[in-house]
């Protein structure tokens, strides 16, 4: 099988599994207890927290809170910040191309009396600073903008947005699930207050993630019932998963510059081949501001589900958009918000790469796409 759906999830690296195994077997202690076995688990959590701090360039390890993944982190950040600061205002700004974990959380807050502005991107899926400047109001308490889009791979100018919001005292949340492990991240430089991430997007285990909360930022606690995560997120910690996330993050950071350059070269190669050789192919998203491992193409006249079926039959795994909505019927909310014509929206296919992806695999995908496009004629 040729796997080109790494924006949905990635293969866990062998080094990550090896790091996790001791905490699934002999070192199984509960990190909240007081004996030696528990202290070993607690020490592993501390080490993983420091690995995450280093990768995010946060100032303090205690600003990193472990969660079950990106969806939980987004919920905690947005609901927690909005509810804890509602005396300052009840207006939130986000974008129409966010992941559903952000959009549906904002919709839930609307039902509780908050007002939400949903910004539409440009035709490449990008939000610019001017959009934010026009949207904020005296009662704006939070702005949430994704670092990079999960469907079209467009990268937003988060540092520019962060600087503008910090000057005005407005909290800034960034869903960085697609960016962490693939782009350089510096929460201090970008003036980010809250940042969400998920381990399985950078070759870590599923079911574990983190939320960065800048020290001093008021955020309501997520769950009651225990003292874990400094009393803010109750529940026995997933020690093995957290250790795996830390190891995956360490490996991703070590290889970031070389791997980003390698994947960018494969990405550009695939785009060039597809646009030249696949009849009618069009690129969705930004050519300049794009994740290293994302190619989103439309072949008007061939519906996405037809292309996906034929790719699957050829042993190639790719996606029609977000994995979280792949089973749902309906057009991509991202492509619709970008204002793309219906023929492009209904024919979009996403290919996404990892450290395992080769040029030969991309060649095979382009050849199959050529056959599929030719068959429509």
Domains of the chain: 2-8+255-375 (3.90.1150.10), 14-251 (3.40.640.10)
pLDDT, tens digit, for every residue of 200-254?
999 999 999 999 999 999 999 988 888 888 889 989 999 999 999 999 999 999 9
User: Quick check: is 324 catalytic?
Assistant: yes
Its sign, for the CA torsion 204, 208, 212, 215, is: negative
- Contact between 171 and 248 under an 8 Å Cβ cutoff? The reply is no
pLDDT, tens digit, for every residue of 242-284?
999 999 999 999 999 999 999 999 999 999 999 999 999 999 9
Instruction: Say which residues have a Cβ less than 8 Å from residue 113's Cβ, sequence separation at least 6.
Output: 90
pLDDT value, residue 376: 67
Residue ranges of the chain whose pLDDT lies below 50:
325-327
Residue 189 and residue 25: Cα distance in Å, rounded? 40
Q: What is the CA radius of gyration of the chain?
A: 21
pTM for this predicted structure: 0.96
pLDDT value, residue 102: 98
For the chain, strand residue ranges (E) read: 2-3, 64-67, 91-95, 115-119, 140-144, 171-175, 194-198, 209-213, 282-283, 294-298, 316-317, 348-352
pLDDT value, residue 280: 94
Q: Which of 106, 128, 318, 324 is catalytic?
A: 324
pLDDT value, residue 231: 85
- Contact between 67 and 73 under an 8 Å Cβ cutoff? The reply is yes
pLDDT value, residue 326: 47
Helix (H, G, I), strand (E, B) or coil at 346: coil
């Amino acid at each position: 099988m040729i796997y080109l759906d790494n924006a949905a999830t990635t293969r866990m690296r062998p080094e990550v599994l090896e790091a996790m195994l001791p905490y699934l077997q002999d070192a199984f202690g509960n990190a909240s207890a007081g004996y030696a076995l528990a202290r070993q688990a607690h020490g592993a959590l501390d080490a993983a927290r420091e690995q995450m701090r280093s990768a995010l360039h946060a100032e303090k390890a205690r600003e990193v809170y472990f969660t079950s993944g990106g969806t939980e982190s987004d919920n905690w950040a947005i609901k927690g910040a909005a509810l804890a600061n509602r005396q300052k205002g009840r207006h939130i700004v986000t974008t129409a191309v966010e992941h559903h974990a952000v959009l549906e959380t904002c919709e839930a807050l609307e039902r509780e009396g908050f007002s939400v502005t949903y910004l539409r991107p440009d035709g490449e899926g990008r939000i610019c600073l001017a959009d934010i400047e026009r949207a904020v109001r005296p009662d704006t308490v939070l702005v949430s903008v994704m670092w990079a889009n999960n469907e079209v791979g467009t990268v937003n100018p988060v540092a520019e947005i962060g600087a503008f919001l910090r000057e005005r005292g407005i909290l800034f949340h960034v869903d960085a699930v697609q960016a962490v492990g693939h782009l350089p991240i510096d929460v201090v430089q970008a003036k980010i207050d809250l940042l969400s991430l998920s381990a399985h997007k950078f070759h870590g285990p599923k079911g574990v993630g983190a939320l960065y909360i800048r020290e001093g930022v008021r955020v309501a606690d997520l769950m009651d019932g225990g003292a874990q995560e400094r009393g803010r997120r109750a529940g026995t910690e997933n020690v093995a998963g957290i250790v795996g996330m830390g190891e995956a993050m360490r490996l991703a950071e070590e290889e970031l510059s070389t791997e980003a350059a390698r994947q960018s070269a494969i990405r550009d190669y695939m785009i060039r081949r597809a646009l030249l050789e696949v009849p009618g192919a069009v690129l969705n998203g930004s050519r300049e501001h794009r994740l290293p491992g994302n190619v989103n193409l439309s072949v008007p006249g061939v519906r996405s589900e037809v292309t996906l079926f034929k790719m699957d039959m050829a042993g190639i795994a790719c996606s029609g958009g977000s994995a979280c909505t792949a089973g749902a019927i309906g057009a991509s909310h991202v492509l619709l918000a970008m204002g793309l014509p219906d023929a492009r929206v209904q024919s979009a296919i996403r290919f996404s790469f990892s450290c395992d992806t080769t040029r030969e695999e991309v060649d095979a995908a382009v050849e199959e796409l050529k056959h599929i496009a030719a068959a429509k004629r």
